[in-house]
């Protein structure tokens, strides 16, 4: 059986968990949480990072930091995971869904501009498959209209964007805030886990408070105040040290993981390119400003029916590819409060995009088996 995803232990995950327990602290914000935060801050130049229990929770922190409230509008791609929208809906915002680009699932800046109104407060670009959205255009729109940008970088660890002047920045370091995921389907995993990057120093203190149940507990534990209390809204966004210890062991092996994933990605791309040339499927498109973090390998079929048949064909051989998001403008929750709208590119990816098995331990033999079967399905 070749599953879509498979979690893995790569280094000292269990040793570090044991160490955390022995150190006398496994609640949030212990030694391993700090090590993870430092790792990310140093490697990707995020001004500040706070580990969270999930990317969803990091998005919720961002929504509170942006002071999103009823009456505000938040622009989100329709082709994304529910959390990109839900985190803002929880604060009472009106979600304004816009379309993907024609040739890739990322949000279309032209469509964003069309949907900006006086009530717009936030734009949420989602870097699908770890491939950068057109951040230069998006940041220009944000500056022009005085909007927050919250990058949904759930899939975008270790990926970059190059501006037209040649400057290259890590995804997640460009908007005001960025949310990452360490869900088991991501490059670096902790089962469930996430982090928030805070790129504007004026939000450092409040972010810390919101993450600690609305208290100044972090300042207390640094010895800055002699008791801590309730000072703001907040939640318990901080992960157990058990999670951070596991994650840190993965981070120590980031380069090994990324090298392996890139090999898998390239094998897929090479092995399936003939099918693209023959017009059977479309392969991922890498814009010149983006890098490839090998988060995901997807193909786009010509129709929903063909994709369904391909899934069945591969499942019969015990290979488990999976479709992905469902246009959120067609969800029950959205339609309960909003009229129907037409978002065609998002619908196309909803119907035709297929993710192939992709995980650290996927062997070359397995990769070749998958590639061969897909080729034989079409030809």
Ligand X SMILES: Cc1ncc(COP(=O)(O)O)c(/C=N/[C@@H]2[C@H](O)[C@@H](O)[C@@H](OP(=O)(O)OP(=O)(O)OC[C@H]3O[C@@H](n4cc(C)c(=O)[nH]c4=O)C[C@@H]3O)O[C@@H]2C)c1O
- Residue 228 near ligand X by CB under 6 A: yes
- Residue 157 near a copy of itself by CB under 8 A: no
CA distance 207 to 185: 27
Are 224 and 68 in contact, with CB atoms under 8 Å apart?
no
Binding test (CB under 8 A) with a copy of itself, winner from 86, 162, 253, 276: 86
Give, as ranges, the residues between 31 and 70 that touch ligand X (CB under 6 A).
54-56
- Residue 377 near ligand X by CB under 6 A: no
Binding test (CB under 8 A) with a copy of itself, winner from 242, 251, 290, 294: 242
Are 173 and 200 in contact, with CB atoms under 8 Å apart?
no
Structure-token match 């210890």, residue found: 245
Rounded to the nearest whole angstrom, what is the least distance from the CB of residue 270 to a copy of itself in the complex?
Answer: 28
- Residue 6 near ligand X by CB under 6 A: no
Nearest to 79 by CA among 129, 148, 114, 149: 129
CA distance 142 to 234: 26
Rounded to the nearest whole angstrom, what is the least distance from the CB of residue 152 to ligand X in the complex?
Answer: 5
Among ligand X, a copy of itself, none, residue 80 binds (CB under 5-8 Å by kind): ligand X
CA distance 252 to 243: 15
- Residue 80 near ligand X by CB under 6 A: yes
Return contacts of 339-345, CB within 8 angstroms, 24+ apart.
341/97, 343/78, 343/97, 343/98, 343/99, 344/99, 345/79, 345/99, 345/100, 345/101, 345/102, 345/105, 345/108
Q: Alpha helices, DSSP H only, in 81-203?
A: 82-89, 109-115, 135-145
Partners of residue 74 on adjacent β-strands? 95, 122
Nearest to 83 by CA among 122, 105, 55: 55
State the number of binding residues for a copy of itself (CB under 8 A).
Answer: 65
Write out the two tokens for 234: 């907040």
Binding test (CB under 6 A) with ligand X, winner from 152, 158, 241, 347: 152
- Residue 27 near a copy of itself by CB under 8 A: yes
Binding test (CB under 6 A) with ligand X, winner from 322, 341, 371, 373: 322
The interface region with a copy of itself, picked from 136-144, 160-168, 228-236, 279-287 by CB under 8 A, is: 228-236
Residues near a copy of itself (CB under 8 A): 3, 6-9, 13-14, 17-18, 20-21, 24-28, 53-57, 60, 81-83, 85-87, 89-90, 92, 183-185, 189-193, 213-215, 227, 229-236, 238-243, 246, 323, 326, 328, 331-334
Residues near ligand X (CB under 6 A): 4, 27, 54-56, 80-81, 83-84, 126, 152, 154-155, 181, 183, 185, 194, 217, 220, 227-229, 236, 322-326
């Amino acid at each position: 059986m070749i599953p879509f995803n498979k979690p893995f232990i790569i280094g000292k995950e269990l040793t570090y968990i044991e160490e955390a327990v022995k150190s006398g602290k496994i609640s949030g914000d212990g030694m391993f949480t700090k090590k993870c935060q430092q790792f990310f801050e140093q490697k990707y130049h995020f001004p500040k990072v706070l580990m969270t229990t999930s990317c969803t929770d990091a998005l919720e922190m961002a929504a509170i930091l942006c002071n999103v409230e009823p009456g505000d509008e938040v622009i989100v791609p329709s082709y994304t995971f529910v959390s990109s929208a839900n985190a803002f809906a929880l604060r009472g915002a009106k979600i304004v869904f816009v379309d993907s680009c024609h040739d890739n699932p990322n949000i279309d800046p032209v469509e964003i501009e069309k949907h900006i109104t006086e009530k717009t407060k936030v734009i949420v670009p989602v870097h699908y498959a770890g491939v950068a959205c057109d951040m230069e255009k998006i940041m220009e729109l944000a500056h022009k209209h005085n909007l927050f940008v919250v990058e949904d970088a759930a899939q975008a660890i270790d990926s970059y964007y190059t501006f037209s002047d040649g400057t290259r920045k890590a995804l997640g370091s460009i908007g005001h805030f960025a949310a990452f995921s360490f869900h088991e389907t991501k490059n670096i995993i902790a089962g469930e886990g996430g982090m928030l990057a805070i790129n504007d120093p004026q939000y450092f203190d409040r972010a810390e408070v919101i993450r600690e149940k609305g208290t100044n507990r972090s300042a207390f534990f640094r010895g800055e105040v002699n008791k801590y209390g309730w000072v703001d809204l907040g939640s318990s966004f901080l992960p157990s040290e058990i999670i951070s210890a596991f994650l840190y062991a993965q981070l120590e092996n980031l380069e090994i993981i990324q090298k392996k994933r890139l090999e898998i990605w390239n094998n897929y791309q090479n092995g399936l390119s003939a099918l693209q040339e023959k017009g059977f499927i479309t392969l991922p498109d890498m814009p010149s400003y983006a890098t490839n973090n090998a988060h995901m390998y997807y193909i786009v079929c010509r129709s929903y029916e063909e994709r369904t048949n391909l899934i069945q064909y591969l499942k019969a051989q015990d290979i488990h590819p999976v479709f992905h998001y469902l246009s959120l403008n067609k969800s029950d929750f959205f339609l309960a409060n909003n009229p129907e709208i037409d978002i065609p590119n998002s619908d196309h990816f909803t119907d035709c995009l297929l993710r192939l098995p992709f995980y650290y331990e996927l062997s070359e033999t397995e990769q070749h088996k998958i590639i061969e079967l897909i080729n034989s399905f079409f030809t």
